[in-house]
Amino acid sequence: MELDYGGCGQDRLKGGVVTRINSTKGGEFHIADTVRVPLWSVPVPRTKLSVVTVWPPEASSSDKDAVVRIPEGHDCPEVWMYSETMSTDCENRSVEVSLHKNYSELTISVRNSSGDDFPYRMELRGNICGYDLYGNPLPGLFIAPVESSSRSLSGSAKVPRQVDNSLILDIISEDDTHRAFAIGNYIDASGYDWTSPDLKDIEMEIDYSRSLLSFKIGPWQKAVEFEVVI
C-alpha cells in the first residue's frame, strides 16, 4: 500500500501526521506510525483495512479502541482527520490522504441589557468522547467547560462530530444549581450539518435580560423559560 500525503501540506508533514492501519476483522493486522514524508509505502495483507490519519500528532490517542479520546473535563482538540475503509485484495493499493476538520468550535455570546455580571458558568455535556479506530465518533461521556475570561459574557469550547442531538448546555449558578438546555436540538433546528466533511464553527447568542433565555444561531431563534430571575 502506498499512501500519498502530498495534500496534507509541508507544515503538517514537518511535525508529522499519525496514521493507523487496522484490519476490520479484529486483531489480525495493526500498524501505527508518525509520517513525515509525502509518500509512505507499507506492506499490508490482502484483506479489508481501515486507514485513519490524525493531525496534529498530540491529538492522537494510543488506545486500542480509539484514534482520538477526549478526557472528561476537556474539550475536543483541533483535530483534522482522514478515514477510509478499503479492500486490499489486490497487487497494489494507492491512497490519497486528505485531511478534514473534525471539530466545531462553539462560541457562546451572552447578551445582558442590564450590564450586570453574568453570575453563572457554562458547561457542555454530550455522548461522543472522540473517534474510534475507523474514524467514527466514539460513544462516551463528554464534559467540557465553556472557557471564558473572569466574569466574561462570552466563551467557547470545541466539540467533536455529533451523531444525534444529545448535546446539552448546563448553566450553573454559584450554589451549583444546574439548568440544562438541549442545544443539540437547537443546533439541528438551525440547519447545521454534522455530516459535512469539514465541520463549520458555531456561533450561539444567548439573551438573558429577562426570565426567558433566548437562544440564537444565525437566523434561527428559540426562547426558553428560565426559572431563576436574573
- pLDDT tier for residue 229 given thresholds of 50, 70 and 90: very low
pLDDT given for residue 107 in this prediction = 93
On the question of pLDDT at 115 being above 70, the answer is: no
Residue spans per domain, the chain: 2-100, 103-225
Q: Helices (DSSP H) in the chain: which residue ranges?
A: 10-15, 183-189
Q: Is the distance from CB of 111 to CB of 153 less than 8 angstroms?
A: yes
pLDDT given for residue 214 in this prediction = 77
Cell matching residue 38: 509525502
Query: Which residues are CB-contacts of 201 (< 8 A; sequence separation ≥ 6)?
Result: 104, 105, 106, 107
Q: Which of 143, 33, 141, 158 is nearest to 101 (CA)?
A: 158
Cell matching residue 116: 450586570
The residue type at 220: W
Largest Cα separation within the chain, whole Å, is: 70
* Range in 66-70, 78-82, 180-184, 213-217 with the lowest mean pLDDT: 213-217
On the question of pLDDT at 164 being above 90, the answer is: yes
- In the predicted model, what is the mean pLDDT of residues 81-95? 94
Omega into 38 within 30° of 0, i.e. cis?
no
- In the predicted model, what is the mean pLDDT of residues 111-118? 66
pLDDT given for residue 168 in this prediction = 97
pLDDT over 90 for what percent of the chain? Answer: 70
- In the predicted model, what is the mean pLDDT of residues 138-167? 89
Q: How far is CA 119 from CA 110, 146, 177, 210, 215, in A?
A: 11, 14, 12, 14, 18
- pLDDT tier for residue 46 given thresholds of 50, 70 and 90: very high
Select from 2.60.40.2630, 3.40.309.10, 3.40.50.300, 3.10.450.50 the CATH code of 103-225.
2.60.40.2630
pLDDT given for residue 228 in this prediction = 46
DSSP code for 147: B
Higher pLDDT, 156 or 154: 156
Distance CA 195, CA 106 (A): 16
Cell matching residue 226: 428560565
On the question of pLDDT at 54 being above 80, the answer is: yes
- pLDDT tier for residue 28 given thresholds of 50, 70 and 90: confident
- In the predicted model, what is the mean pLDDT of residues 11-19? 96
Q: Which of 8, 56, 18, 6 is nearest to 133 (CA)?
A: 18
DSSP code for 201: P
Is pTM beyond 0.85 here? yes
